[in-house]
Amino acid sequence: MLQEGSQVAQEARARLASEVGFRCSAGIAANRALAKLCSGLHKPDAQTVLLPSVAADFVAPLPVRALPGVGFKIQQVLQDMGVATAAQLRRFTRAQLGSRFGSRLGGMLWGLCRGLDPSPVTPQGPPKSVTTEDSFKACSSLQAAEAMLQVLVPDLVCRLCEEYEEHQRLPRSLTLKPAIPGYKRPLHSR
């Protein structure tokens, strides 16, 4: 199974590089969480296969914040419990973690620190947004920004046309995020 996954990942990465010019990394493992963790190991242009026999050892030294689904708040609670790594989290039973975090989250944490993740891989459907971005670092004037927009807008229009052809969807809003010092909010248009 992992060999087939590795072949699919290699073909997808090669196609992405040849058709779009992007490089990416990939993780191939027995479950989603491990694959996600592996995908970041050899960036920007390689893939990693993690065998099930070494999954628990691979996860053990990781900081709990590296585990998928563990954010700042959960990390803080775990830190208060004396837990900084997945190996330290293994000291707690599923029941203890369920009591502290609730059965769903506690069970998830119990599994993740052991390299286990029962969550299924499911098709995601069409993307929720279409973006075209540029940092405009080379723009030092309004004229330069207008010239850059003349490049970005046709690209966005082409992608919106493709989106309509594939999913029969039209945009409902447009968001601009200017990087102006002191300006924090994006501009929305409907």
- Specify the CATH number for the domain of residue 67: 1.10.150.20
The Cα 78–Cα 153 span in angstroms is 46
User: Is residue 37 domain-shared with residue 83, that is, in the same domain?
Assistant: no
Spell out the residues 6+ positions from residue 110 whose beta carbon is closer than 8 angstroms to its own: 92, 93, 94, 97, 98
- The C-alpha atoms of residue 43 and residue 39 are separated, in whole angstroms, by 8
Question: How confident is the model at residue 10, as a pLDDT?
Answer: 93
61 with 93, same domain?
A: yes
Q: Is residue 12 part of a domain?
A: yes
Q: Which residue has the tokens 């891989």?
A: 121
Predicted pLDDT at 115: 96
Q: Quick one: pLDDT at residue 11?
A: 93
What pLDDT does residue 178 have?
66
Q: Is residue 85 part of a domain?
A: yes
CA distance linking residue 129 with residue 159, whole number of Å: 11
Pairing state of beta strands 26-28 and 47-49? parallel
Residue 162, pLDDT score: 82
pLDDT value for 139: 73
Same domain, 14 and 42: yes
Are 71 and 35 within one domain? no
152: phi then psi, degrees, rounded to nearest 5: -70, -40
Tell whether 182 is covered by a domain: yes
To the question of pTM greater than 0.85 for the whole model, the response is no
Count of the separate structural domains present in the chain: 3
Residue-range definition of the domain harbouring residue 163: 142-189
pLDDT of residue 7: 94
**122 domain-assigned:** no
pLDDT at 93: 98
* Segments of the chain with pLDDT less than 70: 134-138, 178-190
